[in-house]
Amino acid sequence: MIRREEIEHIAWLARIELREEEKELFESQLSSILDYFAVLDELDTRDVEPTYNVTGIRNVVREDEPKEVFSQADALRNAPKTEGGYFKSPRIF
């Protein structure tokens, strides 16, 4: 079971403000998700091979070949704000 303090900590990390009824709802929902994981932990998986790649597809990315690159002016052309030849973004605290 997840505790109220953990819900508040997660909200603080996500920088969201939760009302009391939302905290209660998330406490219930997250606890049921964790309970389900506890059920899955009880399964005997000794004879089950780990599945790292379910599709079997490998190397689906393109070859890394040099090409022409954007000029600085082209890269900045649609930017909402620039300063000194760089993208300018809002300050984040």
- The pair of three-digit structure tokens given for residue 90, joined into one six-digit string: 């809002």
Query: What's the predicted TM-score (pTM) here?
Result: 0.48
Tokens representing 41? 């932990």
20-79 per-position pLDDT tens digit: 999 999 999 999 999 999 998 899 999 988 887 777 777 778 888 998 898 999 999 999
Closest alpha carbon to 85 in 57, 75, 93? 75
Gap between the Cα atoms of 6 and 38, Å rounded? 18
Nearest-CA neighbor of 75 among 87, 66, 83? 87
Would you give the DSSP letter of residue 84? T
The domains located in the chain, with CATH, are 4-41 (1.10.20.60)
